[in-house]
Structure 1
């Protein structure tokens, strides 16, 4: 492989809203690997003018998140010594580099709404979150009826799914807030809030209580926040009732 790597557009990665100051550099690393992989750490360090320790740290994060993988050189030429590890982009990394999936999804939902009606969009949104429910229902149910514990388990599961989720007590101690710092359908949900509303209904079913959406990323909030009561009011209904605020910021 030619050791000369392509020039990188250092303005292509938008890090204005990224809480991680290294996110822009990792995006550039991912771009180089996609364009010129398999690429070694030494080549990347030279291209980006980074110290070996710094590039190894970025590669470690990208590998841990399954955005890159070590190239299988088992069928390559044999030589003396241990060959340098060379990296390629995985399918997940390719998705991270794409900026057109949300546009395509929005167009698809517009077509669905125009040809099959608004109820079809509602049905799609509900079917989408059913998979989320099935994925997390076992872990949530395993902790019993303690709502606060269920919220924490759900937050951990959503964090593992990539939602940057966390659970924290709300002021007053009678509720928990489930916060999501990342939403994979944020751009689409801006036009189709049915996706947010269906997700909130799924949370209500998983947790067994009324939930209330306080803010959404799609609606302009800096985080999706769902308020979940952990102690019942004196005359609370026996069955959970959903109230979703949807697009409030």
Structure 2
């Protein structure tokens, strides 16, 4: 559920990613490596080096440290015909521990407050709270989205979410579903949302209103999935001429 990160969140992530006793500049670079893996992983070491302008040796040093800390893990890329023979590329992906480094420090307090609200007023109060939280986001995003043609709205929403730190992306929906899958690779309230799914439900409702088309939440980080995935129903065909993805 999107909201602004609290002051110092990036610093805490850097500390968690780099550990103690590491120079500040080293910690900051290591946190950037972890952040890129969170947002774009699984990703290769060479791709990380290109994005950050780091030498292979520097990338390897940071990756080794993050692996030792349990912040990331390695995976093997699926073989493709274009790669031919040889060892499959090694990919680096964020772990649950690594993802936690980017989670708000206020999870326990927020969960306790919502638990108190549910116990004293009722579950409906939690739902109302979630809707009001999303109302601010909707007020910021909706005017811009509604000024665009339907086929451009998902991408505008992706840009807005990413600008708020939620590492969003969009791609074609699989198989017979069609449409677009909107993915959010970072959720700062995932641990709270695991206890209170009303937060995810309110966000999904807001997406449907802003995009003016039915949407369906297929997966959430809160329930153990790698990303939050929302299927956006198609209202127009893919623009084959431009090669873009559209609603």
TM score, norm. by length of structure 2: 0.56
How many Å apart are 1:137 and its aligned residue? 1.1
Distance 1:28 1:229, change over 3 A: closer
Question: 3-state DSSP class of the match of 1:153?
Answer: helix
How many Å apart are 1:26 and its aligned residue? 3.1
2:127 aligns with one of 122, 131, 137: 122
Residue 86 of structure 2: aligned partner:
none
Distance 1:122 1:175, change over 3 A: same
1:139 aligns with one of 125, 140, 144: 144
Q: Does 1:158 align with 2:132?
A: no
CA distance in 1, matches of 2:202, 2:13: 35
Q: Flag the structure with higher helix content.
A: 2
How many Å apart are 1:135 and its aligned residue? 1.4
How many Å apart are 1:142 and its aligned residue? 2.5
Q: Deviations over 1:187-241 (max 9, x none)?
A: 01101000000000000000001101101111111110000012379xxxxxxxx
How many Å apart are 1:29 and its aligned residue? 7.9
Q: Does 1:26 align with 2:14?
A: yes
Gaps of 5+ in 2: 1-10, 34-100, 238-247
Residue 109 of structure 2: aligned partner:
104
How many Å apart are 1:174 and its aligned residue? 2.9
1:219 aligns with one of 220, 223, 244: 223
Q: Deviations over 1:18-57 (max 9, x none)?
A: xxxxx9993358876xxxxxxxxxxxxxx5379xxx7397
CA distance in 1, matches of 2:156, 2:145: 6
Gaps of 5+ in 1: 1-22, 33-46, 63-95, 234-249
Q: Does 1:206 align with 2:210?
A: yes
CA distance in 2, matches of 1:55, 1:100: 23
1:177 aligns with one of 176, 181, 192: 181
Query: Does the CA contact (< 8 Å) of 1:140 and 1:153 recur in 2?
Result: yes
TM score, norm. by length of structure 1: 0.56
Residue 229 of structure 1: aligned partner:
233
How many Å apart are 1:114 and its aligned residue? 0.7
How many Å apart are 1:139 and its aligned residue? 2.0
CA distance in 2, matches of 1:115, 1:192: 15
Distance 1:97 1:141, change over 3 A: closer
